[in-house]
Structure 1
Amino acid sequence: MIAKLAGTLDDFGPDWAVIDVSGVGYLVHCSAKTLDSLGVRGDRVTVHTELQVSENDMRLIGFASGEERAWFRLLTGVQGVGSKMALAVLSALSIDELQRACASGDAAMVARAQGVGPKLASRIVNELKDKAGGLPSAAAGAIASAPKGSASLDAVSALQNLGFKPNVATEAVARALEELGDGASLNDLIRIGLKRAAG
């Protein structure tokens, strides 16, 4: 199983890239957002990968982050969603947008993806609604890696002391941080975080 590739961006097209790893070129199918993040030919890149094997095909799917790969796996677990459809959704929506859409049942947002009709969009949000909360958003991931003593970590700790579960507290502070910006004070993060956690 190939889980990750680190090498040079050799070439790319509308939905693929070739990553040169020590002279071997790997063809990797990607979402538009992952392709945008890779840069230009000759750049050093790292992609998380998923190997898909069918009767007559083997393909590597590449992702800019582990979160994107986790969402790809969730999406392809929904009946009627293949790898191309999952990549279309991940091209149209950021991880945070997709997580919010599933958590709030916003099928119209998912239907923005090319080739995803209203019926399939409803099935996606209905099936992933409960799972959406279990995956950390990109913002929550940033909080987890924040230095000790930072306002965001202190705010998460304060919400946990008030009885909120760690993942709920982290997600609430992440949303407060998105709203208020990086320079937000501890008090403001706790105040807005409380509203988001309770909501």
Structure 2
Amino acid sequence: MIGKLKGVIDALGDDTALLDVNGVCYEAHCSGRTLQALPSVGEAATLHIEMIVREDMIRLYGFATQGEKNWFKLLMTVQGVGSRVALAILSTLSPSDLSSAIALQDKAMVGRAPGVGPKLAQRLVLELKGKVPALGSIDAGTIGLQTALGEGVASGNVADAVSALVNLGYAQAQASGAVARVVAKEGEDVATEKLIRLGLRELSS
């Protein structure tokens, strides 16, 4: 099995990278996020590899970080998520954003990825609940929100407030942190509109 490849970028495609390792070129399918992180053609690069072997093919999937590779493997454990959908999710959301979405049970955020409908998004956040922290990629803002909530799973109004702040242009970690501070002061049974308003006040202070 191939776990990691170190070589020189030979070519970059829309969803693949060709890595020259001592004269042997390996084609790896990559997320858009990994492709953006890779250096230019002719420069040295390292890819964390997940190799999938089936009767009719052997295919390599390459990732810029071990964390992204871990996410790929975890996503593929959910029924209805194949390699193409897993890469689409990883192209749309960073590991930190995914961690936050699962912790907050925010199916709308997961549903932003191409090929992920409402039912699949719901299945993803439900089946992966509790598995995310083990990957070590959850952001500080979400950890604070989990602490404020006591169990790490947000009710609908809290998740909606975080999503609203993210849609206003704030980073996921900032939004989660702001809502965490509000929940710690006011409790989690605050109306969504008030959570958003107080969250904005926290972000501007």
Determine if the TM-score, normalized by the shorter chain, exceeds 0.5: yes
CA offset digits 1:161-194 (Å, max 9, x no partner): xxxxxxxxxxxxxxxxx64xxxxxxxxxxxx7xx
Counterpart-to-counterpart distance in 2, 1:25 and 1:5: 10
Paired amino acid for 1:66: Q
Aligned pairs, how many? 149
> Which position in structure 1 is the counterpart of 2:151?
none
Q: Mapping of 1:21-32 within 5 angstroms?
A: 21-32=21-32
Q: CA deviation at 1:134?
A: 1.8
Question: Which letter maps to 1:74?
Answer: L
Q: Following superposition of structure 1 onto structure 2, how do residues 70-109 of structure 1 map, counting pairs within 5 Å?
A: 70-109=70-109
The one-character-per-residue Cα deviations of 1:71-128 (angstroms, maximum 9, x if unpaired) are 1111000011111110000000000000100111101101100111111011011100
Task: Supply the AA of the counterpart residue of 1:10.
Answer: D
Q: Which residue of 1 aligns with 2:15?
A: 15
Residue 119 (structure 2) aligns with: 119
* Counterpart code for 1:4: K
Residue ranges of structure 2 left out of the alignment (5+ in a row) = 141-172, 175-180, 189-205
2:138 is the counterpart of 1:130: no
1:32-47 map, 5 Å: 32-47=32-47
Partners of 2:54 and 2:128 lie apart in 1 by: 24
Inter-partner Cα distance in structure 2 for 1:35 and 1:139? 23
What is the one-letter code of the residue matched to 1:62? G
Correspondences of 1:38-77 after superposition (within 5 Å): 38-77=38-77
Q: Which amino acid aligns with 2:117?
A: G
- Equivalent pair of 1:67/1:138 in contact (CA under 8 Å): no
- The one-letter code matched in structure 2 to 1:120 is L
Hey, what's the Cα distance between the residues in 2 that align with 1:103 and 1:138?
9
In the alignment, structure 1 segments of 5+ residues that lack a partner are 141-177, 180-191
Instruction: Answer yes or no: is the 8 Å Cα contact 1:7–1:19 preserved in 2.
Output: yes
Find the aligned partners of 1:63 and 1:17 in 2 and give their Cα distance: 10
- Any idea what SS the aligned residue of 1:108 has? helix
Q: Contact 1:19–1:27 (CA<8 Å) still a contact in 2? A: yes
- Residues 12-52 of structure 1, C-alpha deviation per residue, up to 9 Å, x if partnerless? 11110000000000000000000000021111100100000
Shift of 1:133: 2.1
Partner Cα distance (1:28, 1:70) in 2: 16
Cα-Cα RMSD: 2.3
Structure 2 CA distance for aligned equivalents of residues 92 and 103 of structure 1:
17
The Cα of 1:69 is off from its aligned counterpart by: 0.6
